[in-house]
Structures are given as structure tokens and as C-alpha cells.
Structure 1
Amino acid sequence: MHLDGKIGFERLLPDYAALQSWEVYSANILTEFRQMHDEGREVAKFKTLAQEIAALPRCKEKEDMAESLAELMQKAPMRADYPYFEPSDLDEIRKHRPADRKTFSAPKNKESLRERIQGAWLGRIAGCLLGKPIEGIRFHELNYILQQTGNYPLKRYIRADELTEEIISACSFKLRGRCFVDTIQIAPFDDDTNYTVMAACKLIDVYGRDFTPADVARCWVDSQPKNAYCTAERVAFINFVNGYYPPYSAIYKNAFREWIGAQIRGDYFGYINPGNPELAAEMAWRDASISHVKNGIYGEMFVAAMLACAAVCDDIEAVIKGGLSEIPEKSRLYEAISEVFSWRDKGLTVEECIKIVHERYNESDSHDWCHTIPNAILVAISLLYGECDFEKTVCLAVSGAFDCDCNGATAGSVIGMLLGAKKIPSCWTESFNGQLQTTLFGLETVSVASLCDLTMQHIQ
């Protein structure tokens, strides 16, 4: 096409083939079908149509058909036998929490609290770093690597210098060029730490504790480029730019609205509300609702509430239950985490628990691999079976595979908060020297000490 005076007289279309798949709704229509089914809608009759649309080459017509199908599925009635009630509205969420909710006392000693806050920051960074070089690996290949390097069961960082050519060539997972602990001097940027820093330095520090979902949307656009966001967050970011604001930004062309993205964003709201899981969960809701619904929201509320409890409680079981107390009792996430307690009570080993997760969820299916629920289950397993030991907890969280850097970061944050920095062995923190890289504008590198200072300032 010549550009000499023709622009404005014909309709220009995106180059759908060149777009990243997260940005093309029709490329994710099968995920949308799964999501609608998970939400309880009677959509079975649309499966063949969804498959046929998915098989088409990318084009405007495919996008139109995917949107039309989504509208039809959204209008489908709920299945009569669907046992869950999963609101996304905060008031409704609160109405359907468990009745026997425990209260926690506010912290009394600032020095002790800062020690815990530092433990949470260090734990999140270390847990993320443990899983980062193997993010996306399948369970059997992870176990192979661990066995070949004398690190099975997982008990330390995986190092680049122990990966022989034989190990590398035996794995379909690409191990070269990844960020291993022996190749760094400071912690590398990762979305699992970017969001925590963003909440501290860009959201609360600018908008205050009374921030709104719209403030979060503005913060995202002002803080990072589009490609720093993934899946549900990428879709929400594009929605903001195109004029779709919360809560519509969470649902418009967003097939990833119950994926793990919100669950990795909730930590800071727990950090700044020690002893107040309800307020931590409310802040998490304000953040999560811009990109997620239902269990996608609950995952962030669960994590934030756990951290608020862990800041003032030494009982990991009470911490997990404190997190559960802030989400609907008849939700899939509540049911799934509650079942972890029943496995423990029945005497199942941690290996048996992880096996059940892999039997129920297919790690080779992106919807299962990245969904909030299986990853939250693995975090709960690691916390409950980790015996309040930092090393054991983060290693269990990562060794279950799935989204392992996310799970390592979340478990590390919770157990780090409960234990405090002094009880985290130095071998887990010395590699990054108290420094963290980010992709946030104007914050290329931040120190853990400065993040702890800011966190203490944000606590009321």
C-alpha cells in the first residue's frame, strides 16, 4: 500500500500474525472456553466451535468470531450442579467468608517487626531466584537435573557450573543463558519482585493507602512498558490504554483472568498491614480487580492476608487459615487449600501431595500451569510441610514445578515474614548482596534496606 494521501480513506488493521499471542484474543479462545467452564457456565455445546475458530489463521474475521463466541458463552446459564459461589465484588466476598474468623493483634515492637519485614523481602527475592532459572521446566526434567547434580530432593540453589553438557543436552528445557545464582552479583529483575517494588515505590508512596483500582491502572501505565506485563496483566494494560478501565479491564478480551498474575502482586499489602488481614485483603482486592476475577482475585487476597498474619504470628497453620478467612468459603480456592490440611491430617507425605496436584492439573497445559489454584496449592503444601524452616519451605515450593519462581517467591515471602531475616541462612541471600534490579522507570536498582525503610513508613 502506498502512503501518499490514502491514510484515512481506508481501514487499517493490525498485523495479527506479528502480535504476541497474549495480545490476540482469538489465539486464546480455547483458554476462554476452559475459563467459562471453570466458572460454571453451560458451554459444552460450544467446544467444537471454539476448536474450529482456534484452528483458523490469525485475521480480523477470526477475532470477530472469537468475540462473538465469547459473548454467547458469557450468556450461557450456570450449570445446575455447580457447587461454588464466587463473587468478584468486595462486599459480596466479605459476606461469604467463613464465620469463624480469627483476629490477630497489632505488632508491639517496631524493631521485631522490621526484622520480619526484612525477612519477607529477602525471602521473596531468594525464593524467586531459586525458581527463576527453571521457570517453565516440567516436573520430570526438574527431578532429572536435581538427581544428576546431587541436589535431590532440592536443598540449595541450582548452579550453572554444575550443569554438564550431558545434562543440558538430555533436557528439552533450554538451560543455557538463564539466570543462575553463580552468574549474578545482585538479584535480577523479575515480575515476581517488580510488582512488590512497584506497590511500595510507585503505588503507596504516590497514591497513599487509600488508593483505588483506577490509581493502580494509572500506576501501571506510568511505571513500566507494556512488555514488562504478562498474560492477564498484559491484556489489562492494553485495555487501560484503549480506554477500558476497572473493573471492565479485567474481563474484556481477558482469557487469563484467573491465572496467577494477581497472586504474585499481593505481598506488599500484607507487609504494610501487620496483624490486619482484612485490610491487607481489601488492598489486594483493589489491586487484583483491575486484571482478575473470582479465584484470580482470591489468590491475591489469600497471600496478602497470610502475610499480615505472619507478621504477628509464629504458627504457620494459623497463618494459612488466616489467609483463607478472607476469601469466600464456597470458592474453588478455599476448597483446594482446605484439602491440603486434610491431606496432612490423613498422613500423606509431601511427595504424595505433589503427585495429587500433578494428577489433577496438567503442567503441559498453559491454563493449568499458570492458573492460580494449582500454584496456590503448591505454596500451601510447602508452608504446611516446611516445618517453619526457610530452606525446606522454599525448596518444596519450587520442587513441585508449575510456575516455580512465583511459588518460591510467595512461599519465601510468607516464611521469611514469620521467621525474620536473622533466621534465613546466609547462603540464601549472600549472592545478591542486598540489591535488586527492576524494570520500573527510574528504579534500575534498589536496596533491600531502603525497601524495608519505606515499608515501615507505610505501616500505620
Structure 2
Amino acid sequence: MTPVRSEPELADRILGGWLGRIAGNMLGKPVEQGDLWTRDRIDRYLRRAGALPLTDYLPEPAGENDGVALRPEWQRCVRGRIHGSCRDDDIDYAILGLDLLETHGFGFSTEQVGELWLRRLPYLQTFTAERAAYRNLANGLKPPLTATHDNPYQEWIGALIRADIYGWTGPGAPRRAAQLARRDAVLSHSGNGVYGAMWAAALISAAFTAPTVRHALDTALTVIPPGCRLARTVRRVLTLHETRMTWEDTLTTLSEETAGLGWIHTIPNAAVLTAGLLYGDGDFTRTITLTVRGGLDTDSNGATAGSVAGVLTGADAIPGQWKDPLEDTVRSAVFGFDGARISELAARTVQLAETADV
């Protein structure tokens, strides 16, 4: 984990972010239903399959009941069956963000984010806050009303999963990355939903220059209000980690303290993500597997953890069992991008990062 010092290293770290995001998303996708696939149930599934400790994509179900409970896409997301990525909104928004910056530059407006959604993104491939905002856009509302009108999901995780591109294109500039993420997030979110996007963008940006993942997490906290619930929750995880509490006990404590918010809310998911990053301690495999085993919104948390870990390590250092099955191919619902090469998306991201200050 060393700061980026050269163009080839920047390219490797950005590719690492893309590969990490996609691999982490694929890892968590089969068990993406946090009210059903709890942390205990995920580990029981893995024990029955003889897959603990987890070092690869999820195994096929050992029993018929588990197969029924998994997400229907599981047959394309478990080890031995993966040939390129599955389509998922966690990846669609990274692609859409790339298209946004290529089309409008870093001076884009929130209104332009909404216009791009309407042109590029199918309505039925949006969910929760994004679907509410999309509907509001189609009905003629403008930001910030698109986020607040008839939208009970304003503090859910949707804006956070859209933030990676602003971190990847702003290496070592966390405050700038956070401001770009905020401009995007207010289309559909408010409060901690927006802070989650700012925090994630800053975290990924800081990972390019931070000596450790703890340094990146500390830096990311500086871009959001210190008294907001997101900041307090992240600091709580940091404190418990410092006391040498186990990963399991840390998550149990945070689960009790965030009870009632629901499994797609930003706050409990940020706790799971922070714990995965801290206890993963810069190791790519350990980071994404702990994060997904933490439950809740497993594919979204796995994706963001993989993005941070991939930037920290670089693509070359990501073990082959994670990147080889992706076959450098991504499926996407974003018009014009289905079947794109991951390496091409990363190369285009590098071009944006190199011109960010121009």
C-alpha cells in the first residue's frame, strides 16, 4: 500500500478498483437479501459446503433448500460457473458515472445526471430511491424535489454505490471526489444517504495515497459532518477495532446499535463495510470475504470493499481466482455498454483521472 507515483501504477490501481468492484459484487450477489441471508445463515451455508475460511466465490449450494433461497442469478455467480460478470445496478452506476464524466466533464450538474439516467438507464433496472427519483424526473420534477417527493428511501445505500467513479478519477483528492459525489447523490438522496456517497468517494480517493486502510478511513471521515450518524457509526467501528474486539463481536455490537434501520439503509451497511475493511487489513481476499459474510446488502458492500481493496493493492496483486473468471467482460443495462471490456472501462477512467485538473 504505497502512494501512486507513476502513470502505469495509476492505471494498475484504477483497474484494480474496477476489478475489485465487480468481483466483490459477484461474490455477494447470490445472498443479497439481508433480512433472509443473515451473517449466521451465510456462515452456515459456507460450513455445509466446506468453504470456511472463504477464499473464492461462493460455492454451489450443498442442499436444495439453500439453492431455492439464493438470488435467481446464483448459477452465474458461483465458483466454476462464472463467465464474465452478471448485470447488476452496482456496476451499472459505475459505468453510468463514467459516461457522465466523458459527456459533461467534471463540471456536470445534478440535472445532467438525471437527463443521462432517462436516456441511458431502463426504468425497471432502478430500485428504491433511484426508482423514486427516476419517476419524479419523468413526471417533470427537478432536483432537489426529485430526491424528496414521495421517496421514503432517501437515506438508503443507493447513492453510496454510485460514488466510485469520483474516487477513481480523483486519486489523492478526497474532498474534490466527495463534492462530485454529493452533486450526483442529491438527485435521489438526502441526509446520511448523501453523506454515504461523499464518504465512499473520499475513501476510494484516499486509498490511492494512504499508507494503510485505516488512514484512508480516517481521511474519508473528514468530508462529512462529524456529528452525523454515519460519522458516529464509522468512528464506533474504528474504536471497537482499536480495542481488539473480534470481527464477529464488532458486528454484533453494531447490529444492536443500528437495529430497526433495515438492511438497505446506509448506516448499518457502512458499519459492515468499515469492519470488513479494517479486519481485512489491506488483504484483498480477506477484505471482500469478511465484508460479504457480514450480511445486509452483500453485493453492494462487497462491491465497495472490493473497489477500495483493489485500489490499495492494484490489479496485478488481485488473486487470479477473483479476476480470471470475469474474462475482462462486463454485462450492463446501460445502453451502449453491455459486453464492454473491463480493461477498456478502466483505461477510459485513467484518461479522465489524468485530465481532472485541466
- Normalising by structure 2, we get a TM-score of 0.93
Task: Give, in whole Å, the separation in 1 of the partners of 2:53 and 2:29.
Answer: 18
Q: What is aligned with 1:24?
A: none
Larger Rg: 1
Tell me, yes or no, if structure 1 residue 338 matches structure 2 residue 235. Answer: yes
Aligned partner of 1:234 in structure 2 is 131
1:141 Cα deviation (Å)?
2.1
Q: Aligned partners of 2:27 and 2:158: how far apart in 1?
A: 19
1:358 aligns with 2:258: no
- Could you report, residue by residue, the CA deviation over 1:306-345 in whole angstroms, capped at 9, with x for unpaired residues? 1111112231111011111100011000000001111011
For residue 107 of structure 1, report the CA deviation from its aligned partner. 4.7
Map of 1:302 onto structure 2:
199
Residues 451 and 211 from structure 1, CA distance in 2 versus in 1: closer, same or farther, beyond 3 angstroms?
same
1:267 lines up with 2:144 in the alignment: no
Structure-2 separation of matches of 1:142 and 1:347: 24
Q: By how many angstroms is 1:176 displaced?
A: 5.7
- Whether the 8 Å CA contact 2:46–2:59 is kept in 1: the answer is no
Equivalent-residue separation in structure 1 for 2:3 and 2:281 (angstroms)? 25
Matched, 1:155 2:46: no
SS at match of 2:43: helix
Report the CA distance between 1:360 and its aligned residue: 3.2
Change in Cα spacing, 1:349 to 1:438, as seen in structure 2 (3 Å) is same
Which of 1 and 2 has higher RCO (CA within 8 Å, sep 6+)? 2
What is the aligned partner in structure 2 of residue 386 from structure 1? 280
Q: CA deviation at 1:452?
A: 1.4
Q: 2:343 matched to which residue of 1?
A: 449
Shift of 1:212: 0.6
**CA displacement, residues 353-412 of structure 1 (integer Å, 9 cap, x when unaligned):** 1112332345xx6x5100001101111111111121000000011001100000000000
Q: Amino acid of the residue matched to residue 169 of structure 1?
A: N
Does 2:297 align with 1:400?
no
Q: Which residue of 2 aligns with 1:314?
A: 211
User: In the TM superposition, what are the counterparts of 1:4-403 in structure 2 within 5 Å?
Assistant: 107-136=4-33, 137-160=37-60, 163-164=61-62, 167-169=63-65, 173-174=69-70, 178=74, 179-181=76-78, 182-200=80-98, 202-362=99-259, 367-403=261-297
Matched AA of 2:216 = V
Distance 2:4 2:307 in 1: 18
Q: CA deviation at 1:172?
A: 6.9
Partner Cα distance (1:108, 1:155) in 2: 31
Shift of 1:245: 1.1
Structure 2: distance between partners of 1:106 and 1:391: 21
Hey, what does 2:332 align to over in structure 1? 438
What is the aligned partner in structure 2 of residue 423 from structure 1? 317
Q: Cα RMSD between the aligned structures?
A: 1.7
Identity of aligned residues (%): 35
Q: Tell me, in whole angstroms, the C-alpha distance in 1 between the residues paired with 2:343 and 2:66.
A: 41
Between the aligned partners of 1:335 and 1:358, the Cα distance in structure 2 is 14
Code of the aligned partner of 1:155: T
Q: Which one-letter code corresponds to 2:97 in the other structure? A: A
On the 8 A contact 1:159/1:180 being kept in 2, the answer is: no
Contact in 2 for aligned 1:146/1:152 (Cα 8 Å)? yes
* Distance in 2 (alpha carbons) for counterparts of 1:306 and 1:379: 11
Cα deviations across residues 85-138 of structure 1 (Å, max 9, x unaligned)?
A: xxxxxxxxxxxxxxxxxxxx9954111111110111110010001001111123
Counterpart-to-counterpart distance in 1, 2:224 and 2:287 = 24
Deviation at 1:210, TM superposition (A): 0.5
Deviation, structure 1 residue 175: 5.6
Mapped to 2, the partners of 1:106 and 1:431 lie a distance apart of 29
Question: What does residue 22 of structure 1 align with?
Answer: none
Aligned residues: 348
Shift of 1:423: 1.2
Contact 1:337-1:376 within 8 A present in 2 as well: yes
Give the whole-Å Cα distance in 2 for the aligned partners of 1:359 and 1:392. Answer: 24
Structure 2 distance, partners of 1:106, 1:184, is 33
Contact 1:106–1:276 (CA<8 Å) still a contact in 2?
Answer: no
Q: Secondary structure at the match of 1:369?
A: coil
Deviation at 1:173, TM superposition (A): 2.2
- TM-score, normalising length from structure 1? 0.73
Query: Unpaired runs of 5+ in structure 1?
Result: 1-104
Q: How far 1:188 sits from its partner (Å)?
A: 1.1
Partner of 1:48: none
Contact 1:361–1:369 (8 Å) recurs in 2: no
Q: Which residue of 2 aligns with 1:36?
A: none
Assess, with a 3 A threshold, how the Cα gap between structure 1 residues 409 and 176 changes in structure 2: closer, same or farther.
closer
Question: What letter matches 1:191 in structure 2?
Answer: D
Q: Give the residue type in structure 2 aligned to 1:148.
A: R
Between the aligned partners of 1:174 and 1:426, the Cα distance in structure 2 is 25
Change (3 A) 1:106 1:203: farther
CA deviation vs aligned residue, 1:134-182 (integer Å, no higher than 9, x gap): 111233321211110111243321133xx23xx2326772466523233
Write the deviation string for residues 196-236 of structure 1: whole angstroms up to 9, x where unpaired: 01111x20111111001001010111111111110000000
